Chains A and B, each alone.
Chain A
């Protein structure tokens, strides 16, 4: 991870905005998304059916909700590996409340609240005590899911009220599911937050140089804490959607989600070392991953093979540009 400073050629004239946009990672990703879309449409006659496409969106909406917050966290130079375990714990809390007879609105509040509380635990340990986020979240990854296992053992909560099903199974209008609308709304919210507010600028500043950010008067630890809260609450939201969609809670729920979320973020062009990236990139990456999984699903590829592809994608996306740069030199 040692990068020695190298001299960079500074061109006489900047590229035009259009040329720059065309050469960007997001444009490349969009081209890939379009190519996969066309390939899928040609491979399967059922692909272009709007209801099929709507069903396919469930592959990525829940993960993408977390990926937006994770993107900001990674840009700030931190990471949260506990997101899938937060889903498990939030889902368990909702299940326990459901058994106790809580109304639907309270289930949602508890789901989001558990996510927020878990995020606060991570945030306090990282921002408050100054511990490295990788180990902290590896620890809370065990802890949060461990609590779900203590509560549930090898059992499960089932029998959620029918009204609760709206979040994961309901439709706002025509083929637009509640989850898809949530995805779109959150994409805009996080896009504005990261790219159009001073908070977003602070996140980039911290990711590029935390010490310089501190000297510029940014409350670095407070921003870090808020980012962990955001990631926690978005994981809680994903837990509401996932639990509602599955209609049951097991302690093994959402196992391996953290890998797919991080892959989505990295695929979206966010620098894993922090400091750069964009929300539109993550949105397109979510679409790409959703299309790939859906396309492979139509071809009857088993889930574990898809996870090989996700793993290879994660490494390949970072490795290929570096190999390309090495080859050009």
Chain B
């Protein structure tokens, strides 16, 4: 299984390199280190959210409310900034709020065993609706934000913006959590075989709720980064972004049936979409192609991942068990 996962990531890495080579053959400027760093920075929110989503999907759930959570926390951060709250407090507040919104999803899934797709489809509209209730549909524009608030994600530190460093730090933290902590083990155990996880003394619902809290907290943090970077907050920011996040995970080989996936895969899935998105205007293709391309990438990736993801355990009646 490990070898298979490794090879899947190798294939994805190869696909990314081929993609870069094809673009570079006509537009060598695209692969300059400076431009690649820009692509990385531009993809940072997607990388952060894809990692949170990976934690959720690995436990057999899905979080469609991440983009709405991001938008709500982003709006709150802009409002707090308007009220003169210092930046460190704003950061704490959005992470806590994001975690709380994630906890709402998690508790509904855990305590009431409502399927996560239903819960997050519902909270997706509720969270976005709350932004409207808070603001009456008004925008918060650049001139209403303090300089420090807008400058922090862009501040350059050792050659890269702070936002990119945050994303890299989260990648490192995730790699540690997944491979070195009981929580990381539990996430995979719950998704791989819930019944076995129960016998191993792991709370299935509790672990799923923890994954939602992680995903929510990351969405909250990204909400601030997003609003500060683009210097605008309104109801519809990051609309539909949850699809890109799920797409990044699926492309990265995170199995939607749970139990399989890797940090490297999710990061590369996000990078793949980020490179495509940044390359389209360079190549001269309308950005309106973006949506269809990510849709096709999802379909190709799941069709590809489905190979070798047969049911675990001993199969007695091959034909009958085949789909069950």
Q: Which of A136, A139, A141 has the most CB of B within 10 A?
A: A139
Q: Which of B123, B295, B324 has the most CB of A within 10 A?
A: B295
Q: A132-B256, A132-B257, A138-B246 are in contact. Are A318 and B302 (CB under 8 A)?
A: no
- The one of B123, B133, B247 in contact with A305, judged by C-beta atoms closer than 8 angstroms, is B133
Q: State whether B306 touches A129 (Cβ < 8 A).
A: yes
Asked if B124 is at the interface (CB within 8 A of a chain A CB), the reply is yes
Instruction: With both chains docked as a complex, state the minimum distance between the C-beta of A268 and any C-beta of chain B, in angstroms.
Output: 14
Instruction: With both chains docked as a complex, state the minimum distance between the C-beta of A303 and any C-beta of chain B, in angstroms.
Output: 9
Q: State whether B60 touches A1 (Cβ < 8 A).
A: yes
CA distance A98 to B306 in the complex (A): 40
Q: List 25 A-B contacts (CB under 8 A).
A: A1-B194, A2-B113, A2-B204, A131-B306, A134-B256, A136-B299, A136-B302, A139-B296, A139-B298, A140-B299, A142-B294, A145-B291, A210-B323, A214-B320, A256-B125, A259-B121, A259-B122, A304-B128, A311-B122, A311-B129, A314-B122, A315-B123, A319-B108, A319-B112, A323-B112
Q: State whether B289 touches A146 (Cβ < 8 A).
A: yes
Asked if A182 is at the interface (CB within 8 A of a chain B CB), the reply is no
What are the residues of chain A within 8 A of B121 when measuring CB–CB?
259, 262, 311, 314
Q: Which of B117, B122, B293, B306 has the most CB of A within 10 A?
A: B122
Asked if A266 is at the interface (CB within 8 A of a chain B CB), the reply is yes
Q: Which of A65-73, A147-155, A159-167 sits within the interface?
A: A147-155
Number of interface residues of B (CB under 8 A): 54
What are the residues of chain A within 8 A of B117 when measuring CB–CB?
79, 134
**Could you tell me the dominant secondary structure of chain A's interface residues?**
helix
CA distance A140 to B297 in the complex (A): 10
> What are the nearest 10 A-B pairs in CB distance?
A146-B292, A142-B295, A143-B295, A308-B129, A146-B291, A139-B298, A311-B125, A211-B324, A315-B122, A311-B122
- The one of B113, B205, B243 in contact with A322, judged by C-beta atoms closer than 8 angstroms, is B113
Q: State whether B122 touches A312 (Cβ < 8 A).
A: yes
Q: State whether B125 touches A307 (Cβ < 8 A).
A: yes
Q: State whether A312 touches B126 (Cβ < 8 A).
A: yes
What are the residues of chain A within 8 A of B128 when measuring CB–CB?
304, 307
Asked if A45 is at the interface (CB within 8 A of a chain B CB), the reply is no
CA distance A272 to B122 in the complex (A): 13
- The one of A143, A256, A319 in contact with B299, judged by C-beta atoms closer than 8 angstroms, is A143
Q: State whether A220 touches B323 (Cβ < 8 A).
A: yes
Within 8 A of B (CB), among A98-148: 125, 129-132, 134-136, 138-147
CA distance A142 to B118 in the complex (A): 19
A residues whose Cβ falls under 8 Å from a Cβ of B:
1-3, 79, 125, 129-132, 134-136, 138-147, 149-150, 153-154, 210-211, 214-215, 220-221, 251, 256, 259, 262-263, 266, 272-273, 302, 304-305, 307-308, 310-312, 314-315, 318-319, 322-323, 326
What are the residues of chain A within 8 A of B296 when measuring CB–CB?
139, 143, 146
Instruction: With both chains docked as a complex, state the minimum distance between the C-beta of B274 and any C-beta of chain A, in angstroms.
Output: 16
Tell me the nearest residue of chain B to A154, going by C-beta.
B288
CA distance A134 to B60 in the complex (A): 12
**Could you tell me the dominant secondary structure of chain B's interface residues?**
helix
Within 8 A of A (CB), among B219-269: 235, 243, 246-247, 250, 256-257
Q: State whether A221 touches B299 (Cβ < 8 A).
A: no
Interface 0/1 of B274-306, CB less than 8 Å to A: 000000000000101111111110110011001
CA distance A310 to B205 in the complex (A): 26
What are the residues of chain A within 8 A of B60 when measuring CB–CB?
1
Q: State whether A149 touches B119 (Cβ < 8 A).
A: no
Asked if B321 is at the interface (CB within 8 A of a chain A CB), the reply is yes
What are the residues of chain A within 8 A of B129 when measuring CB–CB?
304-305, 307-308, 311
Q: State whether B298 touches A314 (Cβ < 8 A).
A: no
Q: State whether B126 touches A302 (Cβ < 8 A).
A: no
| Besides A259-B125, A302-B132, A311-B124, 7 other A-B contacts (C-beta < 8 A) | A135-B256, A139-B302, A149-B291, A256-B125, A305-B132, A322-B113, A323-B112
Q: State whether B194 touches A146 (Cβ < 8 A).
A: no
Tell me the nearest residue of chain B to A135, going by C-beta.
B256
- The one of B118, B194, B250, B286 in contact with A150, judged by C-beta atoms closer than 8 angstroms, is B286
Q: State whether A315 touches B118 (Cβ < 8 A).
A: yes
Tell me the nearest residue of chain A to B306, going by C-beta.
A131
CA distance A11 to B128 in the complex (A): 47
Instruction: With both chains docked as a complex, state the minimum distance between the C-beta of B157 and any C-beta of chain A, in angstroms.
Output: 35
